[in-house]
A and B are shown apart, each in its own frame.
Chain A
Amino acid sequence: MNPAMTVVVLALIWAAITGTFSGLNLLLGAAIGIVAVLLLRKNLGPPRRFRQLRNAASLAALFLYELAASAVRVAIVVLTPDMKSALKPAIIAFPLSVKSDAEITLLANLITLTPGTLSVDVSEDRSLLYVHALNFGTREGLIADIAGGFEAKVREVYS
C-alpha cells in the first residue's frame, strides 16, 4: 500500500471505530492517519502488489483455523484429570530463514497463537527463534511443522 492509500484506510477505520461517517469525522481520521504515517514512514515497507494481498488473505485464513484448533487443544490439556502426563514442556531453538524485522515479528506472533507453541526470545544475530512447546514430541517434527506451515506462508507474503 502506498502512503495515500494507508491514510485513506486509516481514516475509514477511524470512522468505523467512532461510529460516524460524517465528513468532518473522516477529515479528523485522515489527519490522525497522516500523523501516524509520518511517524512510521521509515518502517513502512515498499508498495504491496495484488498477489501479495491474496497470499496475506490465505495466511489469515490459515491463522484463524489454527487459532481455533490451538484453543481447543489447550482446553483439552487443561481439562485432563492427570495433567502431569499430558505435559512435556520444552524450549526449542528454531532456525529462522526469514530475515527482516517485519517477517520475524509476524512469524513470532503467529507462532504464539498456534497449537502448543509460544515464542520466547530471538537470538541476537536473528538466526534463531526460541519457541516454547507445550507438548514436546521430537525436535525435527516441531521445526518441520513451523517451517513448512507459517514460515513458508510468511515468506510468500513478503516476497
Chain B
Amino acid sequence: MIAAIAIYAGCILLLLGALFSLIAAIGVVRLPDLYTRMHAASKAGAVGGGLVLLAVALLCFDVGVGLRAIIGFVFLLLTTPVSAHLLARASYRTTDQLQMKMVVDELKTKGGPNSAA
C-alpha cells in the first residue's frame, strides 16, 4: 500500500519535473532578451531537473541510491544560481545594452559595472 502511494507520488513529481523543464525550454525560446531568458532557465530549469531527481529518490526504494539522488538535487540547487550569475555578469560586460529592453537600468546609470574580471 505504502509502496503504491510512493509510486503514484513519484509519477506526479516526474511529470511535474518534465513539465517545468519543457516550460523552461519554451521560455528560453519565447522570452525577448538574455536576462529574461535567464530567469526561465535558472528557475524553471533547476526546479524541473530537481523534481526529476526527487522522483528518482522516491522511486528507487534503496537508501543509498535515494541519498545520492537527494545530494544531486542539493548540488543542482547550489550550482544553478552560480552559473546563471556568472553568465549574467559576463554578458553584461560584453553585449550591446541597446538591444535589451529594460524599464530602468541602474547598473548603467551609476557608472557601469566594475572593470575587474
Contact = CB atoms under 8 A, between A and B. Distances in A.
Q: A–B direct touch, CB within 8 Å, in complex?
A: yes
Interface of A: 13, 16-17, 19-20, 67-68, 70-71, 74-75, 77-79, 83-84, 87-93, 108-110, 112-113, 116, 118-121, 123-124, 128, 130, 132, 134, 136, 139
Interface of B: 20, 23-24, 26-27, 30-33, 35-36, 38-40, 42-44, 46-48, 64-65, 67-68, 71, 77-78, 80-82, 84-85, 88-89, 92, 100-108, 110, 113-114, 116
Contact of A109 (B81, B104, B113): B81
B35 to A, nearest CB: 5
Given A17-B68, A71-B20, A118 B103 contact: no
Contacts of B67: 16-17
A2 B68 CA distance: 25
A67 B89 CA distance: 22
Nearest to B70: A16
A112 B85 contact: yes
A87 B32 contact: yes
Given A83-B31, A92-B106, A19 B65 contact: yes
Contacts of B20: 71, 75
Given A83-B30, A121-B92, A16 B35 contact: no
Contact of A90 (B80, B84, B92, B103): B103
A64 B36 CA distance: 22
21 contacts: A16-B68, A17-B67, A17-B68, A20-B64, A68-B47, A71-B46, A71-B48, A74-B27, A74-B39, A75-B23, A75-B27, A78-B27, A88-B103, A89-B33, A89-B35, A89-B36, A93-B110, A109-B85, A113-B77, A118-B42, A121-B113
